Amino acid sequence: DGGITQSPKYLFRKEGQNVTLSCEQNLNHDAMYWYRQDPGQGLRLIYYSQIVNDFQKGDIAEGYSVSREKKESFPLTVTSAQKNPTAFYLCASSIGGANTGELFFGEGSRLTVL
């Protein structure tokens, strides 16, 4: 079945370590996104990519990095520069722009910093 796969589901990290969250989609969507979700807050955009080898910063990109080497894949690296990385991370994709096309989400990855 088509969809978005995020891994791992749960991840624990020590302070000072970088971690990479995987996001793979087989929907043939051009656009992919990473959002961060914290309790009591709306989703916030970290990075998005419209096409392969291109990506743009969202509202809270500091301390994060991404790559888009393949249409299907959009991994997110949470670096040691991110001061408060504990959160639920959601990957999404859409056919066109997020403001007009339907957004499809993965199941999320929960990162906890110990």
Partner 1 sequence: KNQVEQSPQSLIILEGKNCTLQCNYTVSPFSNLRWYKQDTGRGPVSLTIMTFSENTKSNGRYTATLDADTKQSSLHITASQLSDSASYICVVSAENSGYALNFGKGTSLLVTP
- List interacting residues with partner 1 (CB under 8 A): 4, 6, 31, 33, 40-45, 48, 50, 56, 58, 88, 90, 92, 97-100, 102-108, 110
Q: Which is nearer to partner 1, 44 or 80 (CB)?
A: 44
Contact in structure between 8 and 108 (CB atoms under 8 Å): no
Q: Which is nearer to partner 1, 7 or 18 (CB)?
A: 7
**What is the sign of the dihedral through the CA atoms of 78, 24, 110 and 37?**
positive
Give the integer Cα–Cα distance in Å for 96 and 98. Answer: 6
Q: CB 53 → partner 1: shortest distance, Å?
A: 17
Q: CB 96 → partner 1: shortest distance, Å?
A: 10
Nearest by Cα to 8 from 28, 19, 22, 25: 22
Q: CB 30 → partner 1: shortest distance, Å?
A: 11
Q: CB 72 → partner 1: shortest distance, Å?
A: 17
Q: Which is nearer to partner 1, 6 or 82 (CB)?
A: 6
Give the integer Cα–Cα distance in Å for 25 and 2. Answer: 8
Contact in structure between 15 and 112 (CB atoms under 8 Å): no
Q: Which is nearer to partner 1, 52 or 80 (CB)?
A: 52
